[in-house]
Amino acid sequence: MNLMIDDMNINYDFRGEENGGDTLVVLLHGWGSNIKLFDNLMNVIAQKYPVTALDMPGFGLSDEQSEPWDVGQYTDFVIKFVEKFDYKKVILLGHSFGGRVIIKMLTQREIPFEVPRIIMVDAAGIKPKKTFKQKFRQRVYKIGKWFYNLSFVKKLSPQGIDKWRKKFGSADYNDASEIMKATLVKTVNEDLTEYISKITADALLIWGENDTATPLSDGQLMEKLIKNSGLVILKNAGHYSFLEQQYTFNAVIKSYLKIS
């Protein structure tokens, strides 16, 4: 399915009865991901609720935005998307980057619908403290970047700076377009920790115990900061806990959303 929002063609999926009650469940994917990973989960939720998921701009089959975005711009866009369906109540589920959008939406935006519940899955938003090794690596990268940007070095090695960036960049960074590389930098570097305690919605937190991208300590901190929250830890699962322990994850979701 497709929608035009702000002159961008947005790919999305919708399941369940379109007029099935007053509550819509919205699924927000992680960085570098898309709605395909939510296929099984959407079928589970659609047993009781209408549910939708979108490829956010720059991901999946949706158009890329014309300039680098920060978390706030993604948040505003998701609000516009949700408004297209005209539901009074919305339950938000966010995986990884999707969690950033939820935090921003519930604490920094006026929204035209009620959000009684949220589900945060291996959610991002807490900026990790850099280890000595990471700080050293960052310093080396900055020195190399300065060197390859010198005019005489550019003439001798015009591709040098790109090769240097690829050597030090993450897979997500290296695989992205120029706009999405700049977007990644703007979103990852924003620490949302101070806003998390402002969330008043009932919150279910689900984390893989072996998550290295957004470690379990992030989930434990969120549980402390969000007044009405509970943390479920999935054994033998990493950052994609909803796929790695799909049966258990689905059982938790069914229980929380009272899906028989």
Please say if the pLDDT value at position 91 is more than 80: yes
Q: What is the pLDDT of residue 80?
A: 98
Q: What is the pLDDT of residue 174?
A: 72
Q: What is the pLDDT of residue 149?
A: 79
Do 2 and 27 form a contact (C-beta atoms < 8 A)?
no
Do 183 and 77 form a contact (C-beta atoms < 8 A)?
no
Q: What is the pLDDT of residue 92?
A: 98
Burial state string for 153-177 with b = 16 or more CB within 10 A and e = fewer than 16: eeeeeeebbeebbeeeeeebbeebe
Nearest residue to 25 (alpha-carbon basis) of 77, 103, 102, 132: 102
Tokens representing 228?
């009405």
Tokens representing 231?
């943390």
Residue range 3-26, pLDDT digits in tens: 999 999 999 999 998 766 799 999
Instruction: Pick 54 or 176 by higher pLDDT.
Output: 54
Tokens 């948040």 appear where? Answer: 75
Cα separation, 93 vs 249, in Å, equals 13
Residues 6+ apart with CB under 8 A from 214: 96, 99, 122, 123, 124, 126, 207, 239
Which range (41-55, 56-70, 84-98, 149-163) has the least confidence?
149-163
